[in-house]
Structure 1
């Protein structure tokens, strides 16, 4: 974990713009979700002591919001449907604020790297979910092959489909076979990321779906059925 000790050596460093930016980025980075209250209070005291009141208030709100935000609460006994429901609760709670905080950065990035900008977004959104799954005894990552492209910590591009939607609201769905550490297959967790191909835009919340099937052919068929039902009804399924 990144440490803060070097940033507190002098009051001039504490007030520097680089530290302020670093602090802000920390509020939406999964690396900092485990900060203890003692460390946070120390930051607040030091900021207050150098009379940077506006910076102090801003960071206090950011850190308290981040640390009190409820991360996924998974249990080892959960079914794949329960995992999906809890994962969607987490995504609903954070996706839009994260989108807004990264919007300018990723709009600029999109001009250079196009769709890879969405990978940068998922690199911030999804790791807390996969980390919590791992902590309680689930495995959501399969062995990595030489040419694999991975985003969001556990999302493999070879395990994804993108066949639906318009250029302004395209849909890519990744799948992860979820197992318990004892080898028992729990099911399949599908991650859908709506996105535009014309500019950086996420038109609606990323969504998790679930399947019981774990065979690749059955997974792909299950994804197609989900999208067919969704397109036929015009509603989320």
Structure 2
């Protein structure tokens, strides 16, 4: 893992909003590691994609975030749910060819005492026609933690997010259309 300082030290030195310091730490980690995780796990990820399709992107994110979760534990903070976030409430959109998609997922970050620090939003760029991550995952830090507040804040930041449906809603609509033949 390429990272200059441990997260615990960064938080101790932080004079501002701790969620911003956490996000900056993750951004720097991703900058230095996102491609290496792809390269070092290429065979496993391609196999996962061939066997389970888009679930391979979840495998990639889990591998990418493993060192971050270790730093969280050492710093005494915990994400709810585990980074990158809950798939069922995530939102996705992209081009009609399905080769440049974005999925936005999030986790609220808390201290061990339960204090809410904010929310980390992960933006994963991906392709539905093959296993391909065209650019590094993006990151947004929010002070909001309640689902309704997070979705409102993200809707203000992105019209695409505002118009996209939660995965469970989108999937239910897909199934309904399949059953009705249209």
Do both share a fold (TM > 0.5)?
A: yes
Q: Say which one has the larger Rg.
A: 1
1:156 is aligned to 86
Change (3 A) 1:229 1:197: closer
Question: Which residue among 165, 178, 181 is the counterpart of 2:94?
Answer: 165
How many equivalent pairs are there?
153
Change (3 A) 1:229 1:200: closer
Once residues 194 and 128 of structure 1 are traced to their aligned partners in structure 2, the CA distance between those partners, rounded to angstroms, is: 21
Tell me, yes or no, if structure 1 residue 70 matches structure 2 residue 3.
yes
Shift of 1:179: 1.1
Tell me, yes or no, if structure 1 residue 186 matches structure 2 residue 117.
yes
Residues 112-159 of structure 1: CA deviation (Å, up to 9, x unaligned): 2110111121121012112211211112135xxxxxxx7x6x632234
Tell me, yes or no, if the aligned pair for 2:110 and 2:118 is still in contact at 8 Å: yes
Tell me, yes or no, if the aligned pair for 1:137 and 1:181 is still in contact at 8 Å: yes
2:45 is aligned to 106
Instruction: Name stretches of at least 5 consecutive residues in structure 1 with no aligned partner.
Output: 1-65, 143-149, 231-237
Once residues 101 and 88 of structure 2 are traced to their aligned partners in structure 1, the CA distance between those partners, rounded to angstroms, is: 18
Change (3 A) 1:226 1:160: same
Shift of 1:222: 1.8
Residues 45-97 of structure 1: CA deviation (Å, up to 9, x unaligned): xxxxxxxxxxxxxxxxxxxxx6xx32762134551011101100001101012
Tell me, yes or no, if the aligned pair for 1:178 and 1:185 is still in contact at 8 Å: yes
Change (3 A) 1:107 1:99: same
Shift of 1:160: 1.9
Shift of 1:170: 0.8
Instruction: Name stretches of at least 5 consecutive residues in structure 2 with no aligned partner.
Output: 162-182
Once residues 220 and 196 of structure 1 are traced to their aligned partners in structure 2, the CA distance between those partners, rounded to angstroms, is: 24
Tell me, yes or no, if structure 1 residue 138 matches structure 2 residue 72.
no
Larger RCO (alpha carbons 8 Å, 6+ apart)? 2
Once residues 71 and 125 of structure 1 are traced to their aligned partners in structure 2, the CA distance between those partners, rounded to angstroms, is: 17
Tell me, yes or no, if the aligned pair for 1:72 and 1:87 is still in contact at 8 Å: no
1:46-125 aligned at under 5 Å gives the runs: 69-70=2-3, 73-75=6-8, 76-77=11-12, 78=14, 79-125=18-64
2:135 is aligned to 204
Tell me, yes or no, if the aligned pair for 1:72 and 1:132 is still in contact at 8 Å: no
